[in-house]
Structure 1
Amino acid sequence: MKVKYIPKEKVTKACTFCGEEFDTPRDRQRFCSEECRKEFIRQINTFGKCPHCKKDLL
């Protein structure tokens, strides 16, 4: 028996990188755009710290 995924209604979340609020049907989405996601990863790779909470990640 296959379980079909039923998408939830859209939720409003704040982007982890820029703080901009956005609507998403996906639970795990953390960024409002691909640019924010790439910039977040670039900053972690450059500085070794999370730009959101300043915690050391490397």
Structure 2
Amino acid sequence: QKLAKRDGGRIDRNRDIEHLWEFYQLYKRRHRVEDIQREEQRWRESGTFSTNLGEYG
């Protein structure tokens, strides 16, 4: 950001949001975030998660 200011360029904050969103979408695809969340949900529904957590409490 400092480089852009020094060169006389204006930083466009609207583009920042777009870049962040694109990065987020790419990250989700690459790391299969939604698949992991679905697995966790299945474990919770089956009771596996809650019984394991109870042992540590």
TM-score of the two chains, using structure 2 as the length reference: 0.30
Q: Looking at secondary structure, tell me which structure has more helix per residue.
A: 2
Q: Which has the larger radius of gyration?
A: 2
TM-score by length of 1: 0.30
Which one has the bigger strand percentage? 1
Name the structure, 1 or 2, with higher relative contact order (CA <8 Å, separation 6+).
1
